[in-house]
Structure 1
């Protein structure tokens, strides 16, 4: 039997020698988010404590994986993964406890400075996100993202962070996933838990985009000449397929609402809202008796501010959904989960797409290539930085072969997009380094390359099989690196 195993493993290694490598200069990294404990109150702190029923297991992120205290251990995990960069987010209320720059937390400023220095000492580039959903609660009390002044407040916060770390950080992400902040946050499902879909959500969208643009222009004029860094935002972009050919035109409108609403104002030559969406909302608003469109217009100055406010296109992607027109009287869910009420659309999935621990998340690698190609057709040869991609599971098994399969299959589609479609993809980020508090799912779904024991006060980290695969991938830039060998060894 041992002889037979050796023969089989030898054959597998021979197959694995057929390399599928990413181009020179392509970067691999991993990521986490900042929602932690011991800081000024954020909207997520308020949300999970005031509405515990909104979280599936009634947990909170008060401690989560405790990277605040265990960052040195996490840097060692990153070094073991051979990654080029680590994407993490700065908690606005950790640096500015009141949300305003009149009070800068020395502890918060020191923590992130130590983390950045620790990464650079190990040859790992820090990729820093300014905002990953944790708005200071005092700013929410003033209207949050529906208040037009928030774009100035965000620029003030960005200036503090640029001043603190701009000499060491060369890649910045201003805003993470506006669609979650606005479409889901203003449909009552996540913080701040307000119900104003189609009105508050559109105000939020406009102000988030303007906040990004002001932070971008601030860096462009005052910090880029000194530090030569790059800045953009990153959007959560699903891919959408018509359930039948009859829904093809409707699916294009869904793309305008879910993809282009957050990209067209920044990355297109014309700027402004996607024209098809702008027409649709204006016509629907008029039919509803509104005096003006619920989609707020941009001024000429705002159009100019937004257009071209990028150095790359940040993209988070997990899944593909099918599109069909909702039946008469059918209750349609919320953005990104079950449907789009604005368009009377229900979302589904094809039966052959495997499900995951997240009910909105089905596995369809080919959708990733289709999305990347769509972005190129819409916005040209812009550098695309994949800033999140990964698989959720129950987290009980360290031998997480399905997650390895997910990474390999989705990365194969990224390679095809680069090689055959000419998409300028420059980097890839695995979500996530660690199991963490997964928002509405609490700790019931896990994305981590490393298992975290949340029952232990030490929050013990243990590498999964996917961590070993990703370390080999980051080292060789070959998607077959040690993959077939590990898969076969697991089956013997």
Structure 2
């Protein structure tokens, strides 16, 4: 993680260049169309706190931060977090004050089913989420509900978690409780958030909960079971709830942009895409894992001495069962990478199988996370790619944001959202991309997994030294309030022209 060395340096990297500001004056794509809804998001473990409130069960993050605190950069935890368990009304107040259309939340599996199983449903857990959802609806804010955002009950992990095929059944029972309880009020459900990341980092590398370094075999097995769990939940909703509740169900994929390091090396970019975003999207929109991915994993497995591919195989019935199971394309996007084909790449565990190495353009502006560069044209590239590859599905951008180092005058975050939203509006108006929702990440500075609180994505800062966890609006909160109040994209505040 990099920090600005001086105030002058900080100022120089957060202001728009002269040409960028001039471009905004001629841009006709500033009005937010009626069909595009703008919101903000959080997730349960990252903001709720109340880790042992009432009868909530222990989840995999509770176990990790308590037993291995050194795995978190600043050795913090989510025991209290933003205390949204008690301060949810204040959170809703801020969402309303900034005039957002929707608030994306997630549910804690262990808060609703303390034992992980559906024979023991927590009335207190359900009441908390009913109260939160009711508060949103009373303030004319649409709730977007993610059923699973990385925090399943530890008791299920003790049985193998997502590497156990029984997790499909356990998840389906949990999803059934969620649909039954909240489907009359909630019209957009996400089954799973970014299975690429929780499988790769949780069961492959082992750097996030449950912290199991099972190599690529564990990551692929996790993804295989998670895709089947998603599909079964989708079919359950179709069978039991859609006619009565008339909602939408989808999955969220992590879709960074991979741009060729060497001009016209489109194959490198395509391979990187298929091993990341396509890992989820291809089975749902086209059927089965991408051929590029299957072929390369099979070859790597053979070269490594395995008797069969480490990527599990779907049966024809499973391929048919998974295909078509999404009412929208859920997409989390933060940044872009340059990619090139390098045999035996060691850039990361997943890309090792692909033979792809990723890097950064040194001209890209860095943020509070050393992996997160500001590359707005990469966002537009990804929106157009999804349109072309998957027949222009309805796209919900469920996370997009920039990190800071607890900077209140967060000009860089404003610049980031301005440039990325400008790309989105261009994709909508000029390229006819079917983008229907955009979600800024995040409402408050969250517990950012293995990074802890060392860098924040929030429009609101938290007073971390106070048990009251007071919310303190950053400059970006005012900017979004202006944008949402006018329904028009506004140039960043106090932009300094650099000629």
Per the normalisation by structure 1, the TM-score is 0.91
Correspondence list, 1:367-446, <5 A = 367-395=378-406, 397-446=407-456
Deviation at 1:280, TM superposition (A): 1.2
Match of 1:360 in 2: 371
Distance 2:26 2:340 in 1: 41
- 2:487 matched to which residue of 1? 477
Deviation track 1:176-197 (CA, whole Å, cap 9, x = no partner) reads 1111111111211111111123
User: How far apart are residue 391 of structure 1 and its match?
Assistant: 0.4
Could you tell me which residue of structure 2 aligns to residue 134 of structure 1? 151
| Counterpart residue number, 1:153 | 170
- CA 1:247–1:490: 2 relative to 1, 3 Å: closer
2:161 aligned residue (131, 136, 144): 144
* Paired residue secondary structure (2:412): helix
Aligned residue runs from structure 1 range 283-302, under 5 A: 283-302=299-318
Query: Deviation above 6 Å: which 4+ runs of structure 1?
Result: 16-19
Correspondence list, 1:137-216, <5 A: 137-186=154-203, 187-216=205-234
Aligned to 2:348: 333
Query: What do residues 387-419 of structure 1 show as CA deviations (whole Å, max 9, x unaligned)?
Result: 000100101x22111101100000111111112
Give how far 1:344 is off: 3.6
Aligned to 2:12: none
Q: Which residue of 2 aligns with 1:321?
A: 337
Q: CA deviation at 1:165?
A: 0.8
Distance in 1 (CA, whole Å) between partners of 2:201 and 2:222 is 11
The answer to whether residue 498 in structure 2 is matched with residue 487 in structure 1 is no
Partner of residue 448 from structure 1, selected from 458, 473, 488? 458
Whole-angstrom CA distance in 1 between matches of 2:117 and 2:467: 33
TM-score with structure 2 length normalisation?
0.90
Q: Write the distance in 2 (CA, Å) between the matches of 1:108 and 1:62.
A: 16
Where does 1:297-312 land on structure 2 (aligned, <5 Å)? 297-312=313-328
Cα root mean square deviation, aligned: 2.1
For 1:104, the equivalent position in structure 2 comes to: 121
Q: Which moved more, 1:443-452 or 1:184-193?
A: 184-193
Question: For the residues of structure 2 that align with 1:184 and 1:240, how far apart are their CA atoms?
Answer: 19
Residue 16 of structure 2 aligns with which residue? none
Whether the aligned pair in 1 keeps the contact of 2:293 and 2:354 (CA below 8 Å) is no
Shift, 1:19, TM fit:
6.7
Pick which of 341-350 and 258-267 moved more. 341-350
Q: Partner of 2:105 in structure 1?
A: 88
Secondary structure in structure 2 of the residue aligned to 1:30: strand
Asked if the contact 1:239/1:371 (under 8 Å) is kept, the reply is yes
Spell out the pairing of 1:18-33 with structure 2 (5 A cutoff): 20-33=30-43
Q: What is the CA-CA distance between 1:345 and the residue it aligns to?
A: 3.0
1:459 paired residue number = 469
Corresponding position: 1:227 with 2:245? yes
Unaligned runs of 5+ in 1: 1-11
Q: How big is each residue's C-alpha offset from its partner over 1:286-328, in whole Å with a ceiling of 9 and x where there is no partner?
A: 2222222111111122111111001100000000011134587
- 2:9 equivalent in structure 1: none
Helix, strand or coil at the partner of 1:421: coil
Separation in 2, partners of 1:293, 1:489: 55
Inter-partner Cα distance in structure 2 for 1:19 and 1:381: 20
Match status 1:278 vs 2:294: yes
Provide structure 2 residue ranges, at least 5 long, that are not aligned to the other structure.
1-21
Partner of 1:125: 142
Q: CA deviation at 1:80?
A: 0.1
Partner in structure 2 of residue 243 of structure 1: 261
Instruction: Figure out how many residues of one structure are paired with residues of the other and give that number.
Output: 469
Moved more, 83-92 or 196-205: 196-205
* C-alpha contact 1:326 1:332 (8 A) present in aligned 2: no
Deviation string for 1:261-289 (max 9, x for gaps)?
Answer: 11000012xx0010111111112222222
Separation (CA, whole Å) in 2 of partners of 1:51 and 1:411: 39
The CA distance in 2 between the partners of 1:224 and 1:126, in whole Å, is 17
Contact 1:179 1:235 in 2 (8 A): yes
In 2, the alpha carbon distance for the partners of 1:471 and 1:161 equals 32
| 1:342, distance to aligned residue in structure 2 (A) | 1.6
1:253 pairs with 2:285 = no
The equivalent residue for 1:266 is: 284
Partner Cα distance (1:280, 1:213) in 2 = 25
**How much does 1:466 deviate?**
0.7
1:58 to 75, 94, 100: 75
